[in-house]
Amino acid sequence: MNSFPSTSLEYLELQSPEIERVCCTHQYHNHHRNHNHYHSHSENAYAGRVRLEAQKTKTTKTTSREKEDDDDNNMPVPVPKPQLGSYEYVPETKENLDWADLVTIDLSLYHTPEGKKQLAETLIQALREKGFFYVKNFNISQERVNSQFAIGKEFYELPEEEKRKYTPEGLDQGKFNGYVPAGRRVIDKETGLRDKVEIYNIPKFNGDFPHDHPEVINQNIEEIEEFARSLHTEVLDPLHVLLAIALELPEDYFTKIHRYEVKSEDHLRYMKYSKHSPEDTKKLKNWAPGHTGMLDLLVAVETHSDRLLFFSLPFRLTRTPDSPDLGSFTLLFRQPVAALQIRYHSTNEWKWVKPQDATLTVNACDALQFLTAGYVKSTVHRVTVPPPDQQHVDRLGLLYFSRPHNDVVLSTVKESPVLQREGYTQNEFEASGNPVPTMEEWTFAKQKWQRTKGYNDDFKHQHATILPGFNEKPYA
């Protein structure tokens, strides 16, 4: 029998590849069988139908392609993201300053048991003796860091009225995400001179916080989120593991209370210190009393209170406010304008912190002091007027502040054999018999206290109780 399909609907449903196969089969049989009746009228009609159907298929495909082309032409053209400008780092100071001798945590050693042990020993020694250290080889490229500085630079180039649209309601009640304008604090009562510190804080991207930002931030929001998350995976998680090893705890002890997807008050910060005029800089050389409590890495760098105080040092330098960071670790990216000073735990000496290429400057903060009953201490520090050869430039800071989950109770880690052996068994709240706050309670109690009128204007207020069981510890 003839193997070709009939002229029924079954044939008409064939697709063009099948039609081509059928036609080829027809030619094959025509060549080998060589029957004259194969060229009959019915066969010619069949071949005609084949050609007609093939033409229909071709026309349908052409029409479909034309429709797709029309759809493509009607689709909105994506607007390209504006190109970020570059950020130029100013030259480092040539002044011969008394630099701090800080150790470096090299995370390239982190991936072996021996390397982890070595780094854990280095970390705990740094935290106990000086409170500050550097981190290098943390798997975040300098290009990505440069891009974040460029974003911060473009934000601060916005008009003041535009930036102020993003100032949080309740700033004086402890709110801090968004824009904090300069000039909120008087830094010289005799002249009325005000601070020139601006802050923009960006919270976690885990669904717990609204993200209302100006266009320059929104245009780069995916890059900002990726950067913030990378700081957790590439820097903070390893530091938490190393601290746990040093305290003879399970390696995941601290990472479990610092998970990115759980609500906490972590934030990325762009921070600008605008230069003072030469006349104002002279005014800042007036001495005024200062003190500090448990301070973290940069406090006007972390400035929940933006008040600046003074202390008598070379250049009679301006200090940042005496309020600690409220969390675990604070990360400061290299900023070549020299301004950060720290006070060694062991000797109480003040030292300048030198900006190091391709490193982070890191220190421990209040939460770790509470969790370790003072075995790990928050570090007294200040941000000063730069040395003379850098006083003509603005200073842009890029920082990240890490905090435990909001519901973590800040009681001493009883499971640590190290703390038990060394006698660090009670923090300030536990020793006084008062309730131990959660991280959230401590955060907002301290922030609200910092923004009261007394905190700004009355030195005696610095001795006040923040929460029952904890008083601010003055430094003079």
pLDDT digits 0-9 by tens, 22-61: 344 444 444 444 444 444 444 454 455 545 555 555 555 5
C-alpha span between 140 and 458 (Å, rounded): 44
Classify residue 298 as exposed, middle or buried by CB count within 10 Å of its CB (0-12, 13-18, 19+).
buried
Decide if pLDDT at 269 tops 50.
yes
Asked if residues 192 and 286 have their Cβ atoms less than 8 Å apart, the reply is no
Identity of the highest mean pLDDT range in 27-41, 185-199, 274-288, 304-318: 185-199
pLDDT reported for residue 19? 39
Average pLDDT over residues 220-249: 99
Average pLDDT over residues 226-232: 99
Helix (H) or strand (E) holding 132, with range, is strand 132-136
Q: Where are the alpha helices (DSSP H) in 193-328?
A: 215-218, 221-231, 237-246, 278-283, 299-302
pLDDT reported for residue 222? 98
Average pLDDT over residues 4-21: 39
Tell me if residue 402 falls in helix, strand or coil.
Answer: coil
Q: Flag the least confident range among 221-230, 378-387, 414-423.
A: 378-387
Asked if residues 134 and 185 have their Cβ atoms less than 8 Å apart, the reply is no
User: What stretches of 257-403 adopt beta strand conformation (E)?
Assistant: 267-273, 309-310, 318-319, 329-333, 340-343, 350-352, 359-364, 381-383, 395-401
C-alpha span between 267 and 210 (Å, rounded): 13
CA angle (182, 186, 189) in 5-degree steps: 160
Higher pLDDT, 123 or 78: 123
Q: Flag the least confident range among 18-32, 299-313, 314-328.
A: 299-313
pLDDT reported for residue 307? 30
Arithmetic mean of pLDDT over the chain: 79
Decide if pLDDT at 256 tops 90.
yes
pLDDT reported for residue 51? 55
Confidence of residue 345 (pLDDT cuts 50, 70, 90): confident
Decide if pLDDT at 63 tops 60.
no
pLDDT reported for residue 311? 29
- Using the Cα atoms of residue 107, residue 111, residue 114 and residue 116 in order, give the sign of their dihedral: positive
C-alpha span between 70 and 68 (Å, rounded): 5
Q: Which residue has the tokens 């190109």?
A: 83
Helices (H) and strands (E) in the chain, counts: 16, 17
pLDDT reported for residue 163? 98
CA angle (366, 123, 353) in 5-degree steps: 75
C-alpha span between 101 and 86 (Å, rounded): 32
* Percent of residues, the chain, with pLDDT higher than 70: 70
For residue 401, count other CB atoms closer than 10 A to its CB.
26
Predicted TM-score of the model (pTM)? 0.76
C-alpha span between 469 and 437 (Å, rounded): 10
Decide if pLDDT at 344 tops 80.
yes
Decide if pLDDT at 301 tops 70.
no
Topology (CATH level 3) of domain 104-471? Jelly Rolls (2.60.120)
Average pLDDT over residues 254-264: 98
pLDDT reported for residue 75? 58
Residue 148's alpha-carbon distances to 223, 325, 331, in angstroms, are 9, 22, 14
The two beta strands, 197-203 and 178-180, are antiparallel
Decide if pLDDT at 195 tops 80.
yes
Instruction: Please state the length of the chain.
Output: 476
Q: Which residue has the tokens 């880690």?
A: 413
DSSP letter for each residue of 219-253? TTHHHHHHHHHHHIIIIIHHHHHHHHHHTT--TTT
* Percent of residues, the chain, with pLDDT higher than 90: 53
Q: Helix-strand-coil percent breakdown of the chain, rounded to 5? A: 40, 15, 45
Q: What are phi and psi of 351, to 5 degrees?
A: -135, 145
Decide if pLDDT at 113 tops 50.
yes
C-alpha span between 420 and 417 (Å, rounded): 5
Name residue 383's beta-bridge partners: 340
- Using the Cα atoms of residue 156, residue 161, residue 165 and residue 169 in order, give the sign of their dihedral: positive
Decide if pLDDT at 181 tops 70.
yes
Asked if residues 355 and 335 have their Cβ atoms less than 8 Å apart, the reply is yes
Higher pLDDT, 336 or 455: 336
Q: Flag the least confident range among 48-52, 158-162, 265-269, 415-419.
A: 48-52
Average pLDDT over residues 327-342: 94
